[in-house]
Structure 1
Amino acid sequence: MNVLVTGGLGQIGSHVSEMLLARGDKVVVIDNLATGQRHHLADHPNLTVVIDTIANRDKVFELCREHRFGAIVHTAASYKDPNDWYNDTLTNCVGGTNLIQAAAEFKIGRFIYFQTALCYGLKPLQQPIRLDHPKLPANSSYAISKTVTEDYLEISGIDYVSFRLANVIGPRNVSGPLPIFFQRLSEGKKCFVTKARRDFCFNQDLARAVLKAVDGTGRGAYHFSSGKDVAIKELYDAVVQAMDLPTYPEPEVRELGPDDAASILLDPSRTFQDFGPVEFTPLSEIAAQAVAYFRKHGVTGGYTHLKHEEKK
């Protein structure tokens, strides 16, 4: 199969691309390098890397016309700056609709999308959150713009799967607390944790589910989640342990910020029903692999959708 992977040099897209290549598929990656890194994908005879933006409608249609893809895996997303509404809408909305319309015009068989759990708002009405929860994305530019593309998918008539994600982390992760903890601890700086709870899932566990979706499993919206949440401090402790620090640096514990959710816990029952059992990698192993990656390649980003100053 020929597969287009948008954002293919990012943490999710690069792992999906590697797994597709390993089984013999041909992969075209498009990435604008806003958060992706070229070193995430080694050269491969079946890999084509295009440095461009999915907001470039002509390029998107040119690639789809030339390669006749069997599937699009759309991982590209803008999330670097919570106040950058322009690039969020340009990539997440305009880019997303470019891809959907190209998929329809060129009759591309499958469209795999990745939605944020923030589509349910900062104070979900259910715990855990079910797929029938109303969408309430008016909490951040990221949530709003990501939800727009899913809404377009729902009216497009194309065959799609949308994974509404728990917190996906691991090697190549450039957003959220994991790279921030590593960087600050490496520099001997104090970290803080909030009282929030999250479901941290390994990016390669997600990538394996994505390959099933590419091959035809599922239709419509799914939660990719273990169904269990942990305190942010547990991730912090896992990073400290993986770094094998000589003493334990006690973190400052802070209250939640005004734009942060106390818990994001998703009900994964439909995913388990349609995709089969998922073996979730333990948090300690996720942290160990991420720390090994950061030590080899350095840490970049630490981006967050949150407006309050996460890094201080």
Structure 2
Amino acid sequence: MKILITGGGGFIGSHLADRLLADGHEVCTVDTYATSRRDNLTPQDRLTIVEGTIADEAFFNGVMDDFGPDAVAHAAASYKDPDAWEEDARTNALGTAIVVRASERLGVKRLLYFQTALCYGVKPEEQPITLGHPLRPYESSYAISKTAGENYIRLSGLDWVSLRLANVYGPRNLSGPLPTFFSRLTQDKACFVTDTRRDFLFVTDLVDVATKALEGTGSGAYHVSSGSDVAIKELFDATTSALGLGEIDVEIRPRAADDAESILLDPSRTNADFDWRTSVALEDGVAQAIAWYREHGIEQTYTHLKEEELRVRS
């Protein structure tokens, strides 16, 4: 197949591109490189790399016309600045509408979307969260705009799958607590963790689902998650172990009153429809991520959260 990946130079998009190329597909990536790295992609046969924004309709239509994809994986997203409402709306909402219209016009067979679990809000009413939980993306511009994008996809006549994600981690990831722990520990800076639990998913386990979705499995919304949660302290301990630092005493701070003790997604529909389970243990996944950070370095990390929210929600 010919598959176009928006955000193809980013964390998830580049891992998906690697898998699709290895499977023999032809891939075109589109990325602005605002929060991604150019060395995430290796130029090769069957890979077309294009730089630009999906929010530019004329540009994106031209890329789609030139490449003529059979399927589109929409991983591009703005999340660099939590106060950049206009850019979030431009990329995540308007950009998605442009991707949808171009896909409809060209008769794309399948559109795959990557959605945030923050579509349910930070205080979900149930644990684990089921697909029937109300959508309440009110706490951040990122969640609001990403959910608007998913709604444009629902409004379309396309055959689509939306993957609502747990906390995805692994090599090339530059957001969330793991790269922050690595950066601070390797600079001899103090760290702390909060008494919260989160559902962590290694990136290749996500790619297993994404490739099946692009090939025609499933329809509608799915949770991609491990189905279990771990304490942030466990993630910190796995990080220090991978760094060869052993066990380190770290301050554990209480969560804020408006933060959930746990955010855990129910993956049962995904398990059944995709015949899928996670395969990478947290310790192994963290070790792989740390090895990549050591080799490539981290110049900057990114978050959709405001500074005062980082300690409880990252």
Give the alignment's TM-score, normalised by structure 1: 0.96
Q: Deviations over 1:79-98 (max 9, x none)?
A: 11111112111111111111
3-state SS in 2 of match to 1:18: helix
Contact 2:6/2:29 (CA < 8 Å) preserved in 1?
yes
Are 2:274 and 1:272 equivalent residues in the alignment?
Answer: no
Unaligned runs of 5+ in 2: none
Amino acid at match of 1:306: L
Contact 2:123/2:259 (CA < 8 Å) preserved in 1?
no
Aligned to 1:281: 280
Amino acid at match of 1:301: Q
Shift, 1:260, TM fit: 4.2
C-alpha separation in 1, matches of 2:92 and 2:190: 34
Aligned to 1:255: 254
Contact 1:222/1:270 (CA < 8 Å) preserved in 2?
yes
- After the TM superposition, which of the residue ranges 256-265 and 91-100 deviates more from structure 2? 256-265
C-alpha separation in 2, matches of 1:235 and 1:74: 29
Are 2:108 and 1:103 equivalent residues in the alignment?
Answer: no
Change (3 A) 1:32 1:258: farther
Are 2:169 and 1:169 equivalent residues in the alignment?
Answer: yes
Aligned to 1:45: 45
Are 2:243 and 1:240 equivalent residues in the alignment?
Answer: no
**Kindly, what percent of the aligned residue pairs are identical?**
51
Q: Deviations over 1:85-142 (max 9, x none)?
A: 1211111111111101111111101000011111111111111111011100011111
- After the TM superposition, which of the residue ranges 260-269 and 141-150 deviates more from structure 2? 260-269
3-state SS in 2 of match to 1:185: helix
Aligned to 2:17: 17
Are 2:244 and 1:214 equivalent residues in the alignment?
Answer: no
3-state SS in 2 of match to 1:128: coil
Amino acid at match of 1:295: R
C-alpha separation in 2, matches of 1:219 and 1:237: 38
Contact 1:259/1:307 (CA < 8 Å) preserved in 2?
no
C-alpha separation in 2, matches of 1:279 and 1:122: 24
C-alpha separation in 2, matches of 1:208 and 1:22: 13
Amino acid at match of 2:264: L
Aligned to 1:123: 123
C-alpha separation in 2, matches of 1:139 and 1:250: 32
Contact 1:31/1:51 (CA < 8 Å) preserved in 2?
yes
Amino acid at match of 1:264: I
Contact 1:15/1:204 (CA < 8 Å) preserved in 2?
yes
Contact 2:123/2:258 (CA < 8 Å) preserved in 1?
no
3-state SS in 2 of match to 1:28: strand
Q: Deviations over 1:240-284 (max 9, x none)?
A: 000001x53322212224664332101101001100032331000
C-alpha separation in 2, matches of 1:300 and 1:207: 25
Contact 1:168/1:203 (CA < 8 Å) preserved in 2?
yes
Contact 1:194/1:256 (CA < 8 Å) preserved in 2?
yes
Aligned to 1:156: 156
Shift, 1:196, TM fit: 1.4
C-alpha separation in 1, matches of 2:175 and 2:279: 20
Number of aligned residue pairs: 310
Aligned to 1:63: 63
C-alpha separation in 1, matches of 2:21 and 2:196: 37
Are 2:179 and 1:179 equivalent residues in the alignment?
Answer: yes
Amino acid at match of 1:220: G
C-alpha separation in 2, matches of 1:198 and 1:134: 20
